[in-house]
Each structure stands twice: as C-alpha cells, then as structure tokens.
Amino acid sequence: MTRARTARRLLALAAFAQLTALASCKSTGPVDLAGLTPAEVFQRAQDASDSGDLRRALAYYEGFLAQPDITAERAAWARYEAALLYHKMGDDDTALAKFDELLALYEKDKTLPEGPRILATNLKAAILEKRSKKP
C-alpha cells in the first residue's frame, strides 16, 4: 500500500470519528427529574455519558443544579461533572469557565468535598498545559 493511500485512509477514518463524535453530541431537550433521587439523577447522567449521549448527561447535571434545596456536596460533584462533559465535547472554553466557577466556591465554603476540587484543578491544569503547547 502506498504512503498516499495510507494517508487517505487515515484521513477518512479521522473524519468518520469526528462525525461520530458530533452525532453523539446532538441536542437534547430537557430531562424529567420529577420523583428522582439525587443518586438516580447522577446514575442517569452517567448512563447517558457512558452511551455517548453527552448532551443528555449534561442536561441531567444542569437540571439537577437548577433544583432548589440540593446539598452543597452534590452540587460540587454535579458542577465538576458538567465541566468535564463540556471538556469531553471539545468546548474547553466553557469547561475552564465552569472549573473556575467550581473552584471559586471552595474559597467561600471550606466544607465542600475535596474530590471535585482536586479533579477540577488537575483537569484545568491539563487543559491549560495542552493549550500552551499548541503552535
């Protein structure tokens, strides 16, 4: 197989992968959270993410965050997961803004769980490092 032919095949595969990724990010309507416990909302969001429906997963987390009377701990995790989904969808500008919003909460509330803070800090640093290496 010639080098040019191999390159064309690789480009075709890359294009197919991008189309598949875009299709998985299709728009979704609002999700119905009525009667769901926080654990069920998080599980449905995870299931949607695992199946490649990242927009639906995001809708679960954002719907959860819009509800009154959610615990600060659950809200921190939902904010982290939403920012992570933006990153997975290729929207690093929004992901970074969401990580900044989450990290700002830690300055006000020292009782929040450390997990979301550590994960957000690490992923934010990785995104910024990758950006700094781009020509």
How many domains, the chain?
Answer: 1
pLDDT at 24 over 60: no
Q: Is 69 left (phi over 0), alpha (psi -120 to 50) or beta?
A: left
Asked if 18 and 89 count as a contact pair (C-beta separation under 8 A), the reply is no
Check which CATH number belongs to the domain holding 61 and give it: 1.25.40
Average pLDDT, rounded, for the chain: 85
pLDDT digits (tens, 9 = 90+) for 27-36: 467 899 999 9
Parent domain of 45? 27-133
Q: Do the domain assignments include residue 16? A: no
Residue 125 is predicted with a pLDDT of 98
Q: What is the pLDDT of residue 41?
A: 97
Q: Which residue has the higher pLDDT, 31 or 4?
A: 31
Residue 52 has pLDDT above 60, yes or no: yes
Average pLDDT over residues 50-60: 97
